Structure 1
């Protein structure tokens, strides 16, 4: 009951934000754009979104197995899409789905630390690469974004590239950073970082996370093309960072409201009108609902016991 009372304000906040964004963008114009959406691009975006989450599931499986949890491909895929369904329906954005993944992995007899850390590190890996790709995209779009911040394009691009390079280098220094910490809750992470295959696993995670974000950007861009929004690839590379980060905030249900508001702000410098930007965000949200439905169907499938 207490959790339900805490979840209700989040739901209402997300709904209020979505309502406000729709009113500012003119609901009639948003609806007219959505009705005219190109079905081919809608299908392509959904396919890219599904592919992105399939790679995400395999990334989580590889990380869990490296941490000592014997997670099979079928279970990883099924549980990942079930988590997407929970994310789409429950308040708290990605929090509910992540807790579910850690719980089901632990209930199958795997170590609690390995189960929890596999989910935490999987989420951090995705956010790490999301910010990196967003930084590169911002640098490539410096001539468009810098004037909005009243900055010169060249210094802005240089700042973005240097910051992104340092950001990408941070995990490689993780073993040394952890060696100076004696906090008990970091013990599983210290043990993992001390393993011989740490750098190889980190590289595999980086490549998988890059593929996930590229496919996610393709899904967002396809939703835009379905509404007639045609932008350079660098613009979408930049846009995914604020859009997906805002959607992941635990202040709404399924990212509704925060995602659309971020889409309006991120695409405005490129001349995208608010109704079209809101429509792009809503289409991406529908992709999540469809994939959540696939996860709901997977609840009845038997677990892989190999």
Structure 2
């Protein structure tokens, strides 16, 4: 489905013009985007390790980096967007002797942490772009911006309120497999751990937005920072849908829709999405190579 969608998007965006733009892309901006994308995933691996340790599963920083980039390689090669890599990370952690529930939950909650902050930053970006987006949607600018800000603030507070409820005992979790979450919420440093997840997730998304913006600059187009803060939400959420390989197709279609209100031509929007996919492809190649390295017995 993703490949069919990608072919359709490229066709309607004019493949001749798209190829010409890609050939003229600035190599320095491409390098900057690739490095920002790598930095984003390095922070993501560190965040996953912090989440795992909070839930009671131990692993070294080196192992978290190795397994995370191996997972990126699998995501590029396998259908299902991020699903294959996430399953691999959970299994890799379990094989070191860590508890199954903590290992699985560390991957699930790490992904949730990223999506939580992605939506929050996207909401703030959309509110900052209300003067452009509201007329596009035939809505009042003040109402649109104020409603988005209110929803985003509540969204940011939601994990803290849930953990506080578990910590205070007025919320309970069904099922023994969720016990690591309850234990984490009862830990004395749960507020600090939540702030660590929020800060690292914010840094991940900001670096990802920078990579997207560098790809656009490589093609000769630029937008205000708040535009990229908004655009990462639909672009990355669509890329994470388990209907394609590596997000190809869904990511480019989302880029066209998200950037259209700001006057970005479809050919450039598709190019931005493709370049971000190429950044992931490069890291996926590194991760695939890492799969062939000798396994370490120490996690």
Provide the rounded CA distance (Å) in 2 between the counterparts of 1:123 and 1:107: 20
Q: What does residue 13 of structure 2 align with?
A: 25
Q: What does residue 276 of structure 1 align with?
A: 268
Pick the aligned partner of 2:113 from 118, 125, 128. Answer: 125
- Alignment map for 1:287-298 (pairs within 5 Å): 287-298=279-290
Pick the aligned partner of 1:47 from 18, 35, 39. Answer: 35
What number of residue pairs does the alignment pair up?
Answer: 294
Q: What does residue 303 of structure 1 align with?
A: 296
Provide the rounded CA distance (Å) in 2 between the counterparts of 1:266 and 1:182: 37
For the pair 1:56 / 2:47, whether they are aligned, the reply is no
For the pair 1:34 / 2:26, whether they are aligned, the reply is no
Provide the rounded CA distance (Å) in 2 between the counterparts of 1:200 and 1:182: 22
Pick the aligned partner of 1:215 from 200, 207, 215. Answer: 207
- Change over 3 Å in CA distance of 1:51–1:269 after alignment to 2: same
How high is the TM-score relative to the length of structure 2? 0.96
Provide the rounded CA distance (Å) in 1 between the counterparts of 2:110 and 2:50: 10
Unmatched tracts of structure 1, length 5 or more? 1-12
Provide the rounded CA distance (Å) in 2 between the counterparts of 1:264 and 1:156: 22
Q: What does residue 252 of structure 2 align with?
A: 260
For the pair 1:181 / 2:169, whether they are aligned, the reply is no
Whether contact under 8 Å (1:259, 1:281) holds in the other structure is yes
1:164 deviates by 0.5
- Alignment map for 1:1-306 (pairs within 5 Å): 13-178=1-166, 179-184=170-175, 185-299=177-291, 300-303=293-296, 305=298
Provide the rounded CA distance (Å) in 2 between the counterparts of 1:192 and 1:224: 41
Provide the rounded CA distance (Å) in 2 between the counterparts of 1:236 and 1:273: 15
Instruction: Provide the secondary structure at the position in 2 that maps to 1:279.
Output: helix
Instruction: Provide the secondary structure at the position in 1 that maps to 2:243.
Output: coil
Unmatched tracts of structure 2, length 5 or more? none
Whether contact under 8 Å (2:37, 2:207) holds in the other structure is yes
Provide the rounded CA distance (Å) in 1 between the counterparts of 2:203 and 2:171: 33
1:182 deviates by 4.4
Which 4+ runs in 1 deviate beyond 2 A? Answer: 175-182, 185-188, 301-304
Provide the rounded CA distance (Å) in 1 between the counterparts of 2:258 and 2:149: 19
Provide the rounded CA distance (Å) in 2 between the counterparts of 1:186 and 1:66: 13
1:211 deviates by 0.4
Provide the rounded CA distance (Å) in 1 between the counterparts of 2:125 and 2:163: 29
Provide the rounded CA distance (Å) in 2 between the counterparts of 1:136 and 1:129: 10
Whether contact under 8 Å (1:14, 1:255) holds in the other structure is yes
Whether contact under 8 Å (2:55, 2:183) holds in the other structure is no
Provide the rounded CA distance (Å) in 1 between the counterparts of 2:165 and 2:116: 17
Range moving further from structure 2, 57-66 or 35-44: 57-66
1:18 deviates by 0.5
